[in-house]
Amino acid sequence: MFKKIIFLSFAFFGMSLMALYTVKYENDHMLVMGNTVERPFVVLELFTSQGCSSCPPADRLLDKVKKEFPETVFALSYHVDYWDYIGWKDPFAKSGYTKKQSDYNRKFGSPNNYTPQMVVNGMEHFVGANQVKAYDKIKSYIAKNTGNTVEISGVQSKSNTISFQYSTTGDFSHKLLRAVLVIDERTTQVKRGENRNRTLHNSNIVVNERYIDLESQTGSSSITIPALVTPTDELTLMLLMESENLDITAAAKIGLKN
């Protein structure tokens, strides 16, 4: 496995500034389907690791775009575990997230996993710290109509479990719902490995997820709050509708009080 190294240039910097001014219209793009208003969405799944020296720029980029597009961008930071051997065990890494990345790369025809990798709506990928590419993809996917919507309601938190209801529109055959629980942000003092003696800031860290079979357009489910979540963490629950080939066709999110 090899890390991708980003080489920035003044040309790229200029292009990124242009992108900054051309994509700030998320609230102006709403697609109407019958009596349902379909809001555009861009799901950005960043595969990253605190043990990867190339990852902090991508972590910062993910945090940047999620703040610039709070309604449209669904930012997810998946910490993989294959860099833990270097000396720093990422506290948020899971082997399941490494498998998820492998599933995507099998779909994309990529021979290996790498970090940082950004996946857009489950449909394509690019090197995660590429700011020009990120803004270009946000602009492109905001304009797409996927034919599905999903909404979250009736959210309740009891002990270490969050229960919720959901409703969907559009064709849901051969599709699943993915419920994802994320921590808004954490700061970590890394003591070993490639990022030794660095303070790393990670945002929208995935701490748990589960898949839900769609047997009808409405239903209810729940997700467990893992032990690593602290009382001061701000949480967000996201629901993603996902097809058999891993394309994401709808997304919804709601902030939670922990």
140-179 pLDDT, tens digit each: 999 888 889 999 999 999 989 999 999 999 999 999 999 9
Nearest Cα residue to 204 out of 99, 47, 30: 47
- Give the chain's mean pLDDT: 87
Is the pLDDT at 219 greater than 50, yes or no?
Answer: yes
DSSP the chain: ---------HHHHHHHHHHHHHS--GGG--EEETTEEE---EEEEEEE-TT-TTSHHHHHHHHHHHHHSTTTEEEEEEEPSTTGGGS---TT--HHHHHHHHHHHHHHT-SS--SSEEEETTTEEEETT-HHHHHHHHHHHHT---S-EEEEEEEEEETTEEEEEEEEES--TTEEEEEEEEEEEEEEEE-SSTTTTEEEEEEEEEEEEEEEE-SSSEEEEEEE--TT--TT--EEEEEEEEETTS-EEEEEEEEE--
- Give pLDDT, residue 38: 61
- Give pLDDT, residue 27: 42
* Percent of the chain topping pLDDT 90: 79
What is the spatial distance between Cα 142 and Cα 23, in angstroms, rounded to a whole number?
A: 9
Is the pLDDT at 24 greater than 70, yes or no?
Answer: no
Is the pLDDT at 185 greater than 90, yes or no?
Answer: yes
- Give pLDDT, residue 257: 73
pTM: 0.85
Q: Span 19-32, mean pLDDT?
A: 40
Is the pLDDT at 6 greater than 50, yes or no?
Answer: no
Is the pLDDT at 30 greater than 60, yes or no?
Answer: no
Residues whose CB is less than 8 angstroms from the CB of residue 137 and which lie 6 or more positions away in sequence, other chains included: 42, 120, 124, 126
- Give pLDDT, residue 127: 98
Q: Which CATH architecture has domain 10-256?
A: Sandwich (2.60)
39-64 pLDDT, tens digit each: 789 999 999 999 999 999 999 999 99
112-148 pLDDT, tens digit each: 999 999 999 999 999 999 999 999 999 999 988 888 9
94-117 pLDDT, tens digit each: 999 999 999 999 999 999 999 999
Top pLDDT among 115 and 193 is at 115
What is the spatial distance between Cα 3 and Cα 54, in angstroms, rounded to a whole number?
A: 7
What is the spatial distance between Cα 169 and Cα 156, in angstroms, rounded to a whole number?
A: 23
Is the pLDDT at 193 greater than 80, yes or no?
Answer: yes
